[in-house]
Amino acid sequence: MDPQDLLRGLHTKNDSKIVLLVGDGLGGLPQQPGGKTELETAATPNLDKLAKEGVLGSSIPVFPGISPGSGPGHLGLFGYDPIKYLIGRGALEATGIGFELQPGDVAIRANFCTLDADGKISDRRAGRIPTEESAPLAIKLREVSIPGIELFVEPVKEHRFVIVLRGEGLEDDVDDTDPQATGVPPLTPTANTPGSKKTAEVCREFLKQAFELLKDEKKANGCTLRGIAAKPSLPSYEEVYGLKAAAIAVYPMYKGLARLVGMDIVGDAKTLDEQMEVLKENWDKYDFFFIHFKYTDSTGEDGNFEAKTKRTEELDTCVPKIMELGPAVFICTGDHSTPAMLASHSWHPVPTLLWAENCRTDPCEAFGEAECLKGGLGQFEAKFLMSLALANAGRLGKFGA
């Protein structure tokens, strides 16, 4: 069931503001059974106060047991069924480096590799070539020229780069050319559908010219293509929710995900304090604000419990600055859990706080995973967060008479 099918016909307008504060990877695990998680360990007086006044619950990003990447994690929070709306890997990689995909574009993750004298792959990652060496090579590949195609080649990191193809009639159902093995040559780009034949041809021509340009390199004398993906077509926040939405993020990936759902990217903040400034400056111009905080995830990924706890406390300090602007609805949650104990994204439900005047408060006293189990929102699929936000903002009409 796609909630947007219903919401499209129910949303109404008013002057309310909705703020969605995302602590990336917010959910965690205790260091020993029965202990406290990062969020429970952190001193978060501002979020705790709102937890008392508001309503808590546990958000399930996709379905129980599924650990989402940043793409499905955020799509879920934005109310887009993360199983229905898939963002191909190439499109996500391009989005992640801030490349603004246009409708019809096909994006490709590419890896430099090492080929032996017989053209067989001897190293699938070109010896993990450092970025200082790989970036100039990626830029050199911009010399490739294919009639009728506008070509973009963007360095990423180490052996990785991104290719974007722009032109008429490019569909994206083309297989990877990485054979996932050494001692064999790269695969030939092959179309799985008639509509993607042209894309496969362009890929073959790209590789032909690229191999020629790279032939004298020692490490990176070849490359493979992966995750060949068109720009996903997502309905916009304006259309499905009637919301003029702004994203205030520091990292390109999250700006890119927000752009895919039609949010405006506002400001150029580098810190949480600067993000709060941008929020204040834009308060009158938008209905909805997505504020992204990366460091609860990156410290979790590093397996650093103390650092994640400290970053959670940092997140808490921005809350009064948001509340003094007077949002009708304030939500704090994460796109998934990133427990420091696992040093990775996980499948655990994500603590969620919703504050609004008529939210039907619950007995919860503080913001944390255990308290959320007692919360009035129960356990719910992330894709329903936006209907809750709209309802609490008085922005949804009645369904049926």
| Helix ranges restricted to H, 28-165 | 38-41, 45-53, 70-77, 89-96, 131-140
- Biggest distance spanned by C-alpha atoms of the chain: 74
Tokens of 357: 């005047």
Given the complex with a copy of itself, which of 87 and 248 has the nearer CB atom?
Answer: 87
Under the binding rule (CB under 8 A), the answer on residue 341 touching a copy of itself is: yes
Dist CA 339 CA 267 (whole Å): 30
Say which amino acid occupies 200: A
Instruction: Write down the least CB distance from residue 190 to a copy of itself, Å.
Output: 20
Q: How far is CA 309 from CA 300, 306, 352, 367, in A?
A: 9, 5, 17, 13
Span 321-340, contacts to a copy of itself by CB under 8 A: 339
Tokens of 104: 């019809």
| Helix ranges restricted to H, 121-243 | 131-140, 197-214, 237-241
Instruction: Write down the least CB distance from residue 9 to a copy of itself, Å.
Output: 11
Instruction: Write down the least CB distance from residue 7 to a copy of itself, Å.
Output: 8
Binding mask 10-39 for a copy of itself (x = CB under 8 A): x------------------xx--xx--x--
Q: What angle do CA 395, 400, 401 make, to 5 degrees?
A: 110
CB 87 within 8 A of CB 229: yes
Span 92-151, contacts to a copy of itself by CB under 8 A: 92-93
CB 121 within 8 A of CB 149: no
Instruction: Write down the least CB distance from residue 396 to a copy of itself, Å.
Output: 6
Under the binding rule (CB under 8 A), the answer on residue 304 touching a copy of itself is: no
Dist CA 231 CA 95 (whole Å): 9
Given the complex with a copy of itself, which of 262 and 375 has the nearer CB atom?
Answer: 375
What is the 8-class DSSP label of residue 126?
Answer: G
Beta bridge partners of 115: 121
Cα 143 to the center of its chain, rounded Å: 31
Residue 121 — φ and ψ, nearest 5°? -75, 125
- Contact with a copy of itself (CB under 8 A): which of 221, 224, 299, 346? 346
Given the complex with a copy of itself, which of 87 and 276 has the nearer CB atom?
Answer: 87
Instruction: Write down the least CB distance from residue 93 to a copy of itself, Å.
Output: 8
Under the binding rule (CB under 8 A), the answer on residue 343 touching a copy of itself is: no
Instruction: Write down the least CB distance from residue 261 to a copy of itself, Å.
Output: 15
Instruction: Write down the least CB distance from residue 182 to a copy of itself, Å.
Output: 22
Dist CA 221 CA 210 (whole Å): 9
Given the complex with a copy of itself, which of 55 and 129 has the nearer CB atom?
Answer: 55
Instruction: Write down the least CB distance from residue 181 to a copy of itself, Å.
Output: 19
Dist CA 292 CA 275 (whole Å): 9
- Contact with a copy of itself (CB under 8 A): which of 8, 31, 86, 269? 86
Binding mask 351-390 for a copy of itself (x = CB under 8 A): -------x-xxxx-----xx--xxxxxxxx---x-xxxxx
Given the complex with a copy of itself, which of 35 and 136 has the nearer CB atom?
Answer: 35
Burial category of 296 from C-beta neighbours within 10 Å (exposed 0-12, middle 13-18, buried 19 and up): buried
- Contact with a copy of itself (CB under 8 A): which of 8, 36, 45, 83? 83
Q: Which residues bind a copy of itself (CB under 8 A)?
A: 1, 3, 5-6, 10, 29-30, 33-34, 37, 52-53, 58, 62-73, 82-83, 86-87, 89, 92-93, 339, 341-342, 344-349, 358, 360-363, 369-370, 373-380, 384, 386-392, 396, 398-401
